[in-house]
Amino acid sequence: MACPVRPSRGLVAAVLAACLILASGTPALATNVTNLLGYSSAAQAMGGAASVSVLDTQLINTNPASLTLLPDSTDRPADSSIKAGIANLTLGVLQPYFHHTDVFGTDRAGENQPYLAIQGGLALRFKELPQLTFGLGLFSQSGLGTEFRGFRTAFGTRDELSSYERFVKLQSAISYEIVDGFSVGIGPYIGYSDLTLHFFPRTGAAPVFAGLAIGDQCSRNYGIGEPGSDCPWSVVGGVKIGATWKITPTFTAGVAYTSPADFHYDNGTANVVFTPAGRASRVKYDVSVSGISHPQNVQMGFAYTGISRLLLAMDLTWHDWSAFEHFTIKLRNPDTPGAPSQIDLFNQQSWRDQFVIALGAAYELIPGFFTLRGGYNYANNPIPAQHFNPAIQVPFQHHLSAGAGVTMGKHWEFDAGFIWGFENKITYTNQQLPFGPNATDKPSGYSVGLTAGYRF
């Protein structure tokens, strides 16, 4: 089970800042709840059906045991210690689309900008340890984000509604081939997450409603804003374990388990507006957020290569989102005398488990040089309608993907992947929040990724 880690603020800034500049958070689009469908362009093009089929460094973050499947090098120098290996770097651009309608007159699209997401890793097998394969990667694991401006509120104002959350992992992996064709793997990880939430931050209607603005800097610059700034943040650790079995020369199966990560966000600041005076009534607080987690999951993968030049793949995944029951925003240490000394904002969620089906295919149109890929991904919406709100929009269900790859000689590979998340209209009445009856949201979006890889 993942556990919170409590290093000092200075240590976090020193160790993780460079990583976060490269691996940004990801908004909620073309995703399975907050998780990306794939962690390389080839995996994305296969619709996420990649845990035993796409043999690149994304295996570090899906099934560590599958690293054994990486093919041995064929032209290494005799004095080289490397038996097999690959390095990958993936640059992704993610574009969300949102539209909200409610009884208070809001009927508008969101103002989300595109976000960047970078994945990268290295996996190596050595001649003196031929049964072991080692991997290390930095992954934009998951995230969410929405932004609406000019929102017509229930209190007669126009205001902002936005959110942002990112989860970046430094994931390790070791696979061990116990017998020919059967491997096990393990991968401890350390992760960083931070968040913002602006909920009508200039609108005050005490005692009925107070505007809230939590953090800001971490969500800037296309999602690669400063870590450990005014946004509450958390550092967690966890583990991924797996097993992979090449049952026949043409059929491979695998299973992997990822432990949950329980975030304890703190060290952030928030501004609260209590009255219609707006900024004149703003009070600054220290803020922490508890109850948010990245759930445990189990992923099964299958790959079939019995048809010439064709790869067929399927992944099935269970995410334990029913563990996300509620979260609490805690405001402490106001900077204004007479303001409430502490405020606890409780929000019920009661999510359901999510089940994901990913189907993918790859065809070598020109053997050894050019490959076409395509896929489909389905995931049920885990958010009950009575707890839905436009700040947390992750109900994507149907996705189509496509892509292509080029192999340049024996070492260089270049892949492209595209995912379209189809619009999913949600109608809801959330009694906890001021959006009125039968509000609707219609999220959709796409992502594009490019990967450069080098096989040793």
pLDDT digits (tens, 9 = 90+) for 2-25: 443 333 334 333 333 334 444 444
Average pLDDT score over residue span 127-135: 96
- Measured at the CA of 266, the angle between CA 262 and CA 268, to 5 degrees, comes to 140
pLDDT digits (tens, 9 = 90+) for 102-121: 999 999 999 877 888 889 99
Q: Which CATH number belongs to the domain containing residue 225 in this structure?
A: 2.40.160.60
Asked whether the predicted pLDDT for residue 385 surpasses 60, the reply is yes
pLDDT of residue 278: 64
Average pLDDT score over residue span 182-203: 95
Q: Does 407 or 410 have the greater pLDDT score?
A: 407
Average pLDDT score over residue span 235-248: 97
Least confident stretch, 2-11, 150-159, 280-289, 318-327:
2-11
Report the alpha-carbon distance of residue 134 to residue 67 in Å, rounded. 8
Buried b (16+ CB within 10 A) or exposed e, 182-208: ebbbebbbbbbbbbbbbbbbbbbbeee
pLDDT of residue 24: 47
Structure tokens at 55: 């043999």
Give me the number of domains the chain comprises.
Answer: 1
CA-to-CA dists, residue 150 to 159, 200, 357, angstroms: 5, 10, 38
pLDDT of residue 440: 96
pLDDT digits (tens, 9 = 90+) for 61-104: 999 999 999 999 988 888 899 999 999 999 999 898 999 999 99
Report the alpha-carbon distance of residue 68 to residue 53 in Å, rounded. 12
Beta pairing partners, 331 = 287, 343
Report the alpha-carbon distance of residue 119 to residue 135 in Å, rounded. 13
Neighbouring C-beta atoms of residue 150, cutoff 10 Å: 11
CA-to-CA dists, residue 140 to 21, 90, 165, 180, angstroms: 11, 10, 11, 33
Report the alpha-carbon distance of residue 419 to residue 380 in Å, rounded. 17
Asked whether the predicted pLDDT for residue 360 surpasses 80, the reply is yes
* Enclosing domain of residue 141: 3-455
Report the alpha-carbon distance of residue 187 to residue 169 in Å, rounded. 11
Asked whether the predicted pLDDT for residue 364 surpasses 50, the reply is yes
Structure tokens at 175: 């696979």
pLDDT of residue 2: 42
**DSSP secondary structure letters along 233-270:** EEEEEEEEEEEEEEEETTEEEEEEEE--EEEEEEEEEE
The H or E element spanning position 352 is: none
pLDDT of residue 220: 64
Average pLDDT score over residue span 260-284: 88
pLDDT of residue 393: 82
Average pLDDT score over residue span 127-137: 97
Asked whether the predicted pLDDT for residue 320 surpasses 90, the reply is yes
pLDDT of residue 59: 98
Q: Does 378 or 141 have the greater pLDDT score?
A: 378
Average pLDDT score over residue span 372-401: 92
Average pLDDT score over residue span 151-168: 92
Cα 131 to the chain's mean position, in Å?
A: 31
- Measured at the CA of 65, the angle between CA 61 and CA 69, to 5 degrees, comes to 100
Spatial CA neighbour of 58 closest among 45, 71, 73, 43: 43
Least confident stretch, 9-18, 188-197, 324-333, 358-367:
9-18
Q: What is the mean pLDDT of the chain?
A: 89
Average pLDDT score over residue span 297-302: 98
pLDDT digits (tens, 9 = 90+) for 194-234: 999 999 999 998 888 999 999 877 766 555 667 778 899 99
The residue count of the chain comes to 456
Which amino acid is it at 294? H
DSSP classification of residue 432: T
